[in-house]
Amino acid sequence: MDSFTYVNIFETKGLEYLLLLCFWALFVYLIRYLSTPAKKHKDSHR
């Protein structure tokens, strides 16, 4: 039976992949946030 081998995420690309996943999740959220209908004017010119 193979023994368990711990891979340190800081020593591999793991953290960069995690950051990229976070980026895409948040980017999709940001685009959806900015795409939904805007609310009424607050302080723009009338």
Partner 1 sequence: MNSNVAPMRTFGDFFHFFIQELKPRGPWITPFNVISIPVILTGVVILVYRFIYGLGSVTNLTQDTPWGLWMGFDVVTGVALAGGAYVITFVVYVIKVEKYHSIVRATVLNGFLAYCFYGGALLIDLGRPWNAPNPYIGNSFGFSSVLFLICWHFLLYMVAEFLEFSPVIAEWLHLEKARKFLKSLTLVTVVLGITLSMLHQSGLGALFLMAQPKIHPLWWSSFIPILFFVSSIYAGLAMIIVEGTISHSVFRKLIAPNSHHSFDEIIFGLGKGAAIVMFVYYFFKALLFIHDKQWEMINDVWGYWYLLEVIGFVLVPALMFAFGFKHRSLNIIKTAAVMALLGIVLNRLNVSVIAFNWYADVHYYPSWQEIVVTLMVIFSELWVFRWFVTRMPVLNSKH
In the chain, which ranges are continuous DSSP H helix?
14-35
CA distance readout (Å), 17 to 13, 20, 31: 6, 5, 21
Q: Which is nearer to partner 1, 4 or 10 (CB)?
A: 10
Q: Is 15 in the site for partner 1 (CB under 8 A)?
A: yes
Q: Is 19 in the site for partner 1 (CB under 8 A)?
A: yes
Nearest to 19, CA basis, from 29, 5, 4, 9: 9
Q: Is 45 in the site for partner 1 (CB under 8 A)?
A: yes
Q: Is 16 in the site for partner 1 (CB under 8 A)?
A: yes
Q: Is 7 in the site for partner 1 (CB under 8 A)?
A: no
